[in-house]
Amino acid sequence: MRSNEDLYATAAALMADGKGILAADESDGTAGKRLAMVGLPNEPEHRQGFRELLFTAPGIEEFISGVIMYDSSMRNTTDDGIPFPDVLTARGMIPGIKVDRGLRPFQNFEDEQVTQGLDDLAERLKEYYALGARFTKWRAAYTISTVTPTPACMEANAVMLARYAALAQEAGLVPMVEPEVIFAGAHSIERAEEVTMHAVQTLFTKLREYRVDPKGVILKTSMVLAGDAHTEQSTPEQVANATVRMLHMSVPYDIAGIVFLSGGQAPKRATENLNAIGKLGKQVWPISSSFSRALEEPFLTEWQGKEENTAMAQKALLYRAKMNGLAQQGKYNPKRDVQAKKSSVKTGSQD
């Protein structure tokens, strides 16, 4: 087991002021759906090219502290043969890796899922460390309805998250724990707050039981907002107040940091909500973002799968990352956001 001081240093670097984490960890299938939106077939060379353009965007390291990758990306290289983890490290960004193996039906619980992937995780973590990873991510997902999520589903997923986190720390990797509350649905912001609070509290109870060092853990959580089909959408101020209240009721004060997922929000809306949280002032934990769609959508909109659009697409990615960096500090001005126009590319909601 490596020194926990290394974990603390990695976590602190990931939570740097003005920077967020790029969640480029879509499965090969999900990445293919995104490529299809710009007219490219789901082939390894296109997935590799898409990732390379993201990771090599000029200046991106000014606003991105780390990148979460999928297994195939962790093992991939640039056109020049440089491994992606080495590219990121050389530019001052920390390589990360999604290590869960996706959602499976939770037996005897209709419409609920549990995340799998523990069986050979210890061995995989050692390999990922050798490949250059220094942090990891494991995602659980909860859908809100009148009967879900159940306490049993939250308990089962929290146990999996805690066991994963313990194994990750043993391997010298900072665990990012993600109990995502799905945005899709007709639920109110009050119901979202209730469910998110229960999910996060259940998670940290299990992390304590499994003796996971909180100072080497990053929480990746949903913002608290009404479902996308609710009759009244939440304002940034409502989101900020509900989210920060939930965090103070649920999260130990000694964890390394908290990052928010965009979870299907449009890029500008995710930035506005992050900014409203930032405007509430410094909290007891460092707070930032770990967006996928909300960073990649502007890139895809400009790129459209065409080489001649690469420079503009990378500038769009850099701009959105910069806006999120300002929002993290409560310094974002939505009236000056030149990407305010509605995106023409729909890229899915998974972070």
Closest of 144, 143, 124 to residue 133, by C-alpha: 124
Check if 268 is active-site.
no
Output DSSP code: residue 42.
Answer: S
Please indicate whether residue 331 is annotated as part of the active site.
no
Active-site pick, 98, 137, 220, 268: 220
Q: Any bridge partners for residue 288, and if so which?
A: 259
CA 227/CA 246 separation, integer angstroms: 17
Contacts of 56 (CB under 8 A, 6+ apart): 78, 87, 314
DSSP label of 81: S
Distances (CA, A) of 152 to 65, 110, 144, 163, 200: 35, 12, 14, 17, 14
| Marked catalytic residue, from 178, 272, 296, 297 | 178
Distance CA 159, CA 168 (A): 14
- Residue 91 belongs to what H/E stretch? none
User: What are the catalytic residues?
Assistant: 178, 220
